[in-house]
């Protein structure tokens, strides 16, 4: 809900635990599955799903490729809770609703959060299909008055001025690269980079893509950062894995329409290449192809957390 209170947490947790066996009351790892990446549920043992509509104060996801279920169960011997489908501000969810499940997971006992997403690449060295271990972020909304942590805090025990210099756990990031080694993934399968958070739902213009690249971002997406902020505020360790589903088109120059018209008036014909455009279908397709690698990686990291 918009004004999150201790009572809403208690009601959500009560509703969740009442539907689960004791052994799943205290998940240790929370996982958020990004666009097309909910297939993780297939490797969760003894899985128990709860639809978001059954949990007080949970919203429901409206995006194709996103379900609206919490999945509880085990990866190896580790009790986990996975969000199959997340909330984005562009759907109209308030920022406090977007991060509400993260706060619930923290109150259920989660200590480590693994967050996945689909993202566009801004870096020519990071091709489509690469999984990027996020090392830092650039949150444009945070710099312009749309920080998800604005407003009254859900608990006075949480830090008011949250430092973010260590937001992305080096311990968990090490586990990702160790897992990639154990899984014998190609060196190019996993990269490191900076995630730029934008609100969407529009994809970037070429000028915006160029701007983000110049500002130091390697990938760009419309999710994740609100969840990272809430998780850090709640004291959780965080790792983010971005699956690159498309390149953000950043042409070096624009075709000059003036020159084209001039040439035409002079009786010449100029062939202009149509610019590439990105689509949600493309994003979901790559997610489907690479979901297996993402799944194995998440599973390997979770089972290696101490
Ligand atoms: N831009 C923003 N968000 C995205 C993209 C993109 O190119 N691809 C997947 N999510």
pLDDT in tens, the chain (306 residues): 445 676 789 999 999 999 999 999 999 999 999 877 788 899 999 999 999 999 999 988 887 767 899 999 999 999 999 999 899 898 888 899 999 999 999 999 999 999 999 999 999 999 999 999 999 999 999 998 889 999 888 888 889 999 999 999 999 999 999 999 999 999 999 999 999 999 989 999 999 999 999 999 999 999 999 999 999 999 999 999 999 999 998 888 888 889 889 999 999 887 777 777 777 777 777 777 788 899 999 999 999 997
Whether 280 is catalytic is yes
In contact, 43 and 78? CB cutoff 8 Å: no
Q: Ligand 1 pocket test: which of 123, 201, 221 has the largest number of ligand atoms within 8 Å of its C-beta?
A: 221
Task: Give Cα separations from 65 to 47, 48, 58, 104 (angstroms).
Answer: 20, 20, 18, 23
Q: Which of 11, 90, 147, 304 is catalytic?
A: 90
Give distance in angstroms: CA of 257 to centre of ligand 1: 28
Q: Tell the residue number behind the tokens 């549920």, with chain if given.
A: 41
In contact, 215 and 192? CB cutoff 8 Å: no
Q: Which of 83, 88, 100, 169 is catalytic?
A: 88
pTM listed for this prediction? 0.92
Task: Give Cα separations from 79 to 18, 21, 48, 236 (angstroms).
Answer: 17, 12, 12, 16
Give distance in angstroms: CA of 48 to centre of ligand 1: 31
Which atom, in ligand 1's list, is nearest to the CA of 283?
Answer: 9
Whether 123 is catalytic is no
- ipTM surpasses cut 0.95: yes
Where on the phi/psi map is residue 293: left (φ > 0), alpha (ψ -120 to 50), or beta?
Answer: alpha
């Amino acid at each position: 809900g918009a004004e999150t209170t201790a009572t809403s947490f208690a009601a959500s947790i009560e509703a969740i635990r009442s539907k689960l066996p004791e052994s799943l009351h205290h998940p240790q790892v929370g996982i958020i599955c990004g666009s097309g990446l909910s297939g993780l549920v297939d490797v969760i043992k003894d899985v128990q799903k709860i639809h978001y509509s059954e949990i007080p104060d949970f919203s429901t996801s409206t995006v194709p490729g996103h379900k609206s279920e919490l999945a509880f169960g085990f990866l190896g011997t580790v009790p986990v809770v996975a969000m199959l489908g997340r909330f984005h501000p562009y759907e109209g969810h308030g920022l406090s609703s977007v991060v509400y499940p993260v706060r619930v997971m923290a109150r259920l006992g989660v200590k480590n959060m693994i967050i996945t997403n689909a993202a566009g690449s801004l870096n020519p060295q990071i091709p489509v299909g690469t999984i990027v271990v996020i090392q830092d972020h650039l949150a444009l909304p945070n710099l312009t008055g749309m920080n998800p942590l604005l407003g009254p805090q859900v608990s006075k025990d949480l830090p008011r001025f949250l430092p973010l210099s260590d937001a992305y756990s080096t311990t968990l990031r090490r586990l990702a690269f160790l897992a990639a080694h154990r899984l014998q993934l190609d060196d190019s399968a996993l990269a490191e980079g900076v995630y730029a958070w934008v609100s969407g739902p529009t994809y970037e213009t070429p000028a915006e893509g160029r701007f983000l690249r110049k500002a130091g971002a390697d990938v760009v997406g419309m999710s994740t950062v609100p969840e990272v902020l809430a998780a850090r505020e709640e004291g959780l360790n965080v790792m983010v894995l971005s699956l690159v589903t498309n390149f953000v088109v950043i042409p070096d120059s624009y075709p000059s329409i003036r020159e084209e018209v001039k040439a035409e008036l002079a009786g010449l014909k100029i062939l202009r290449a149509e610019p590439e455009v990105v689509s949600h279908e493309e994003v979901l397709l790559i997610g489907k192809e690479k979901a297996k690698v993402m799944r194995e990686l998440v599973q390997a990291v979770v089972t290696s957390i101490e």
